[in-house]
Chain A
């Protein structure tokens, strides 16, 4: 399965910065799953959980967020919380 580069960061730290297979984020209009080669997208996120699946961790790593901004372009996704 093809991966993409995902960065999850807050002001004080970078929580994730690596290749990911999929990420599920709480979009304002419901949860979305981002996979590789997603079309360019910008969205605001509401409070909820981010689940990141990687090759080494197919179960998924979870973060709770309060709010955020998601940007996807050029096969890379950035989540600012």
Chain B
């Protein structure tokens, strides 16, 4: 028979992943799991501006707590995600979003990875073609064929 202590330990181990998810936000969860998921997603998208490399979901700075409260209240009022993002950027600028918006001023930013890959490919193709051509141009005897 398995001892009670072992059972308890097993149950606690099962709860471990949930423990980390709820550690920061001490507020009660939304009753609707879908709402709670939306809330957590939004919190992960928004930057805590005092701690900068943490989202407001990860940080327990006072400002992060206050911003989570704003998100929670706007959601309770029935606001959609776009409204909440616009609320935050109107006050804190695009920097508050972990993912910068797609706008004319950020086209270069978004296109940069693709552009860099294209430049790399172009360079590779040019180099390979030139090497191939220089091989063709070489005199026959250099290819190891011995004259009779």
Pairing of A with B: no
Interface residues of B (CB under 8 A from A): none
